[in-house]
Structure 1
Amino acid sequence: MLEIKDLTHTYADGHVAVRDVNLTVANGELVSIVGPSGCGKSTLLRCIAGLIRPAEGQVILDGRPADGVPEGLAVVFQDYSRSLLPWLSVRDNVALPLKRRGMSKAQRREAATEALESVGLAAAGGKYPWQLSGGMQQRVSIARALAYRPSLLLMDEPFGSVDAQTREDLEDLTLQVRGGNDMTILLVTHDIDESVYVGDRVVVLGASPGHVRADLPVDLPGPRDQISTRELPEFVRLRAEVGRLVRGVTETTATAAK
């Protein structure tokens, strides 16, 4: 569904953010992307989204080189307070991108209502974003993405600004809506536990310039649960392995440190 070939991006000041990134994502996969701060995770996501044109390499979607912002793509950003328009109702915020689809006002309203129901906000359509909690605002952002019915959903640190309990609720919501929709998801996160909990795979980027250091399959049974899944030996093993890779610690170094 998505193929990234030899992608490199250098900013105007000469800083190389990512270098020679190669990655293939199958249709319907949820891939977590982690790495140390400043390794180019968000730059990579913006190149995939067509918000940045990479200096070198290609992004290929459904077998076709991407040029600009792909039609079947939606993005959920970390800063929900800036991505929602405060003068529009929650329902109108969700419906706004659907104008690009050429849908009638009635069709947009129906699609927005269905999307809000899917994220547990059926009663909030007439409210304004500033009347909702941070977690509810991020649910609105997710609903807006779902209403667009993307084939590829990019999530850039989507839960980094909410409390721990809300974060867990939104992780479960992501798994829920992914299961009920035919979409591929790339999720950038700093949270190692989160990357393992939600992912089918965890891609670890090495320190700047960002490059793929490891691509780890996550073989955890479903449905996943915040308590029982995190207690599984395989979850604990994967979390430790991802942690070592993010911190640049080799197995030998970790053993010696004990």
Structure 2
Amino acid sequence: MNRTETMLDVSGLGHRYGGPSGHQAIADLTFQVRSGELACIVGPSGCGKSTLLRSISGLIEPTSGEVKLKGSPVQGVPEDLAVVFQDYSRSLFPWLSVRSNVEFPLRSRGIGKAERRRRADEVLEWVGLSEAAKKYPWQLSGGMQQRVSIARALACRPALLLMDEPFASVDAQTRFELEDLLLRVRKQYDSTVLLVTHDIDESIYLADRVFVLSKSPANIVADLEVPLGDQRDQITTRESETFVHLRSEVARLLDVRTAAAPAAASDVDGSGGSTAQQWAEAERALHS
């Protein structure tokens, strides 16, 4: 993969809910993500991060600006894009086995049974769930269920993988394991990833670049390179001078710009419902 090529091009993106006098969730967002890059978006609660991902994924039509994937305007949900959601308990089909959950989106793409099975087994091995292929989601822990969600996304071999707070619903130890898993599979598949998080440490640990958003209506206030190299681990990387410096820089940026943010906005983005509910609806749309 040519890392000088632009995979995702977001230009002047804005979205307002409820017409001209409604809530402006995001405003004039412009940024690019290069091929093979893992970029993180971090911002205060309620700043419009989920609205941004829904606009990029084609699940909603922005009221201004443009999104291009591999140079082509996004109109509807692109076939070569996949999303991993925070609410893994809603994103998996409880009546299907783990392997069938992973294979499910491949059916709508006209991929034959043998190839579906081969891809499912490959990605399940990568996320450490080969022995759980015949189990059902409700038989797995939360961390294992989220591994299934990641495997399902990777099986589609997306040009761009979007992740919305993918590790926020698991305990700290599982979160660290899933972060390291993402780094491994990203390297294995040379994937391009855009991950939204509210966790400053997570954004720095995972990313090649961190985009810092302002409070709503969101715009980018900083685009920070993360020169931590490809080999990272949960102890020495987080103790490094570079990590500590970047964490402080992002924290200062967020502190200055979130002082006036409403405390009640943590689970809504102005569209009239919780982000968990909206992403659950988005999941059904993506895999129907």
TM-score, normalized by length of structure 2?
0.85
Give the deviation of 1:249 after TM superposition: 6.3
Aligned-partner Cα distance in 2 for 1:92–1:210: 38
CA distances 1:114-165 after superposition (whole Å, capped 9, x unpaired): 1100101010000000000000000000000011100100000000000000
Give the deviation of 1:101 after TM superposition: 2.1
**Counterpart residue number, 1:256:** none
2:113 to 88, 92, 105: 105
| Number of residue pairs the alignment of both structures matches | 250
Residues 102/231 of structure 1: CA separation in 2 closer, same or farther (3 Å cut): same
Q: Which runs of 4+ in 1 moved over 3 A?
A: none
Aligned-partner Cα distance in 2 for 1:129–1:143: 13
TM-score, normalized by length of structure 1?
0.95
Q: 1:11 and 2:13 equivalent? A: no
Q: Secondary structure at the match of 1:223?
A: coil
Residues 12/249 of structure 1: CA separation in 2 closer, same or farther (3 Å cut): closer
Q: Secondary structure at the match of 1:248?
A: helix
**Counterpart residue number, 2:279:** none
1:214 to 211, 218, 222: 222
Q: 1:138 and 2:150 equivalent? A: no
Q: 1:163 and 2:198 equivalent? A: no
Q: 1:234 and 2:274 equivalent? A: no
Aligned-partner Cα distance in 2 for 1:148–1:44: 22
**Counterpart residue number, 1:94:** 102
In structure 2, stretches of 5+ residues that fail to align are 1-6, 259-288
**Counterpart residue number, 1:204:** 212
Aligned-partner Cα distance in 2 for 1:182–1:151: 10
Q: Is the 8 A contact 1:152 1:183 kept in 2?
A: yes
> Which stretch has the larger CA shift, 219-228 or 147-156?
219-228
> Which stretch has the larger CA shift, 4-13 or 230-239?
4-13
In structure 1, stretches of 5+ residues that fail to align are 251-258
Q: Is the 8 A contact 1:5 1:57 kept in 2?
A: yes
1:244 to 252, 270, 278: 252
Q: Secondary structure at the match of 1:179?
A: helix
Give the deviation of 1:182 after TM superposition: 2.7
Q: Secondary structure at the match of 2:101?
A: helix
Identical-pair percentage? 65
Q: Secondary structure at the match of 1:101?
A: coil
Q: 1:182 and 2:195 equivalent? A: no
Q: 1:61 and 2:62 equivalent? A: no
Q: 1:82 and 2:95 equivalent? A: no
